[in-house]
Amino acid sequence: MKQFLIIAFLWCVLCFACTHSKNGEKPIARVFDKYLYPADLEGLIPIGTSKSDSILIVKNFINDWMQRQVLVASADENVDVDKKELEKKINDYKESILIFEYENELVRQKLDTVVSEKQIDDFYNQHKDDYLLHNDIIRANFVKIPNSNIDLMNIKRMMNDPSISTFQLNNACKRMEQFSFDDNKWTSAEIFPTILQNSFPKTKGYIEQHDSLFTYLIQLKEFLAKENTAPKNYVKDQIVKTILNQRKVMMIKKTRSDLINETIQKGEFEILN
């Protein structure tokens, strides 16, 4: 009798799934009268994802979908929503997404992303007052080495040997936690311990400091205190982003204006009484 009931139950489930199939697919989850199908999971799992991670992603998606359907159903039942107003908001949101995607694709295809050094210089010179430092910065070669590292003495020797090239220092320190041998690059002083930060305004040349875990070796070239104007090289990436963003805004604004003018010229833009 028990075996008969199990078979009957499985048969009912199978019939139910077939009854609610869509495009030949059987549903994989249901909440009230809403069904989730395999096609709804298309593109969910990134290429190269492991089997275990894929299973977890699918489980989480199904669980989130089911919970969302419960909340939507409860909201629909308990909240008095103006259906016309809701439909208007949905339509407005849809239109906003379409415009956003269109303008993003336009920017991706046509925006000039080349920013010359002259453009960077001109922008920097015009907006110097906007680039005040919020923290101290230094221009230096430096390396942070664990005190237990067997190469510590060798790195010290190399840092004090003017015949050693930047290339050699970079190779010797490539496994270190933190290092830079580009003394044209400005670095925030905040990445260093307080004891080193305090010595920067008073010291130039070779500095060596230790704490319980690390040794800090620094060849300090220049120090610049906060509230000073930031050097161009320190804010160069920020300037490039600003220039590109301005171009993007201008491009979108011009595209909108051109489209409206074109529509007016075609006689397809009018206010009707």
In sequence order, the β-bridge partners of residue 142 are 180, 218
Q: How far is CA 232 from the centre of its chain?
A: 25
Question: How many residues belong to the chain?
Answer: 273
In the chain, how many domains are there? 2
pLDDT at 5 over 70: no
Give the separation between CA 216 and CA 155, rounded to whole angstroms. 11
pLDDT of 176: 84
Pair 153, 214 in one domain: yes
pLDDT at 23 (0 to 100): 66
The answer to whether residue 236 is domain-embedded is no
Q: Flag whether 242 is in a domain.
A: no
Tell me if 166 is assigned to some domain. Answer: yes
Which long-range contacts (C-beta less than 8 Å, at least 24 apart) are formed by 110-119?
Answer: 110/251, 111/244, 111/247, 111/248, 111/251, 112/247, 113/244, 115/240, 115/243, 115/244, 119/243
CA 84-85-87 angle, 5° bins: 65
C-alpha distances out from residue 165 to 45, 158, 170, 235, Å = 47, 9, 9, 27
Give the model's pLDDT for residue 20.
Answer: 63
Angle at 240 between CA 222 and CA 236, to 5 degrees: 0
Domain extent at residue 46: 2-80
pLDDT digit string, tens, across residues 76-115: 888 887 888 889 999 999 999 999 999 999 999 999 999 9
212 falls within a domain: yes
Does 94 or 210 have the greater pLDDT score? 94
pLDDT tens readout for residues 160-207: 888 988 889 888 888 887 888 888 899 999 999 888 898 899 888 889
Measured at the CA of 53, the angle between CA 48 and CA 54, to 5 degrees, comes to 70
